[in-house]
Each structure stands twice: as structure tokens, then as C-alpha cells.
């Protein structure tokens, strides 16, 4: 079967670029653990680089990343503005 040259043929021949996934889970600590596990699995399979956003306090509480994944997962503390009627997130 003959094929016609073009962008569609070129796109199917080249592997897709790796994803960069940004995760911003609900701020309750119980939500962070499953999202961090998902980030580890995505990074371990080479599917994505992962940026994991959370408050500075929660980011500090996360378990250290395995050395083989630390180059693919970046934990970024995201300071949020204080709201008088809510407890401090820091």
C-alpha cells in the first residue's frame, strides 16, 4: 500500500515527547501520599517529569524521594496567602 509523505507520516514515526505533569493535590496530607505514589510510578516508567506542588509545610513533611527518581520529580513549595478565618498552612 502506498503512503503519501506528510506531517502525519512524520508524526507517527517519531516517538511522542515525554510529558511534564504538574500535580496540585488537595492540601490535606492524606491526599498527598496517593498523588506522590502516582508521581513516582509515572516517573519510574519514564512517562513524565513531574512537578509536585504543595504548601511549604506539607512539602517538608513528604518522605524523601528514591535517588533514581529525584531527577524526574520536583517538589515545589507553593506559599499561599494567609486567610484570617483559616488556620495557618505553614
- pLDDT of 28: 85
DSSP assigned state of 28: S
Q: What is the per-residue pLDDT for 20? A: 92
Give the three-state DSSP class for 76: strand
What are 52-71's pLDDT values in tens digits? Answer: 999 999 999 999 999 999 89
pTM score, whole prediction: 0.70
Q: Which helix (H) or strand (E) holds 54?
A: strand 48-54
Amino acid at each position: 500500500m502506498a503512503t503519501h509523505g506528510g506531517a502525519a507520516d512524520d508524526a507517527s514515526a517519531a516517538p511522542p515527547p515525554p510529558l511534564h505533569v504538574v500535580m496540585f493535590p488537595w492540601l490535606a496530607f492524606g491526599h498527598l501520599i496517593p498523588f506522590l505514589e502516582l508521581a513516582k510510578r509515572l516517573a519510574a516508567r519514564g512517562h513524565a517529569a513531574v512537578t509536585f506542588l504543595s504548601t511549604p509545610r506539607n512539602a517538608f513533611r513528604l518522605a524523601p524521594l528514591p535517588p533514581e527518581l529525584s531527577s524526574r520529580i520536583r517538589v515545589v513549595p507553593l506559599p499561599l496567602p494567609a486567610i484570617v478565618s483559616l488556620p495557618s498552612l505553614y
